[in-house]
Amino acid sequence: MNKHIWAAALLLTLAGPASARTILFVGNSFTFGAFSPAHYYKSETVTDLNGPGPNGKTVGGVPAIFKAFSREAGLDYKVSLETVGGKGMDYHFAEKRALLDKPWDVVVMHGFSTLDADHPGDPALLIRSAKQMTDMLRAKNPRADIWLTATWSRADQTYPDGKFWHGRVIQQMGIDIAAAYDLAAKNAHVTGVVPLGLAWNRAIDTGFADANPYDGIDAGKIDLWAYEGYHASIFGYYLEALLVFAKVTGKDPLSLGDRETVADDMGFSVPQTHTLQQIAHDQLAATP
């Protein structure tokens, strides 16, 4: 064998397979899948940077569903997450920086569900904290893909008296949240926004999901919320994972197919699985 060919073959052998892309999820209960089967789903397939909770378990959540999707698509991602219930990006920047300040390839993150726990509807904290987090992450990896997930309308912030979005249609909170995340994305120069709240609105507008869990769930419709009208049901978290998967990988959600394994694990019917994937597909097509 020619010595140059042999040397090249040896280098390829020593190099081994390409390393997996790293992806970090930063968020709260909307990421870890509170009040649903997503919470501890396949937690052994992802790395919870906070370690086991008081119950001795680590979190799977939306990151583990993303991991399952990526495996089905033949993609290799090393998935990590750092989540704390009821907190926004400002908390993670201030209190969890040692865990986060690394050269990740991809980061997916979001703030508190009302934009600011003390001042609902005010985007200032989101805009400021998204810029702080993005600057920190890009300092370690200037080429990192950074996505902000614009979250959903909360039924418990819309229907009960005295809440910030009371008296408005259920879709309005999602629209307001999306607008705030667009401002934050432009200010921080992130890769883009995952239009989750708008996809929830689409599920309601098309008649697939019920609009008001406080008056019961209409026959033939799904409930996107958990029992308290705040967090998501497993349908809502599945839709979240579909949109993140599509944005991060560039794959069409419909490519996962009607027999997708996570949906089967969660007991979805084939029509439910297909419709959730179609809603994600349609929302992404409609989003600039």
Q: Is residue 11 part of a domain?
A: no
Q: Answer yes or no: are the C-beta atoms of 38 and 31 closer than 8 Å.
A: no
Radius of gyration of the chain, Cα coordinates, nearest whole angstrom: 20
Q: What angle do CA 180, 36, 127 make, to 5 degrees?
A: 15
pLDDT tens, the chain, 288 aa long: 444 443 443 333 333 346 899 999 999 999 999 999 999 999 999 999 999 999 999 999 999 999 999 999 999 999 999 999 999 999 999 999 999 999 999 999 999 999 999 999 999 999 999 999 999 999 999 999 999 999 999 999 999 999 999 999 999 999 999 999 999 999 999 999 999 999 999 999 999 999 999 999 999 999 999 999 999 999 999 999 999 999 999 999 999 999 999 999 999 999 999 999 999 999 999 987
- Give residue 9's pLDDT: 39
Q: Is residue 3 part of a domain?
A: no
Q: Is residue 63 part of a domain?
A: yes
Q: Is residue 36 part of a domain?
A: yes
Q: Is residue 160 part of a domain?
A: yes
Alpha carbon dihedral 251, 102, 28, 120, in 10-degree steps, equals -100
- Give residue 18's pLDDT: 60
pTM higher than 0.85: yes
Number of domains in the chain: 1
CATH number for the domain that contains residue 36: 3.40.50.1110
Structural tokens at position 9: 């073959």
Q: Is residue 4 part of a domain?
A: no
Tokens 């694990």, located at residue: 265
- Give residue 288's pLDDT: 75
Which residues are 48's β-sheet partners? 81
The domain in which residue 193 lies consists of 20-286
Structural tokens at position 257: 């197919």
- Give residue 149's pLDDT: 99
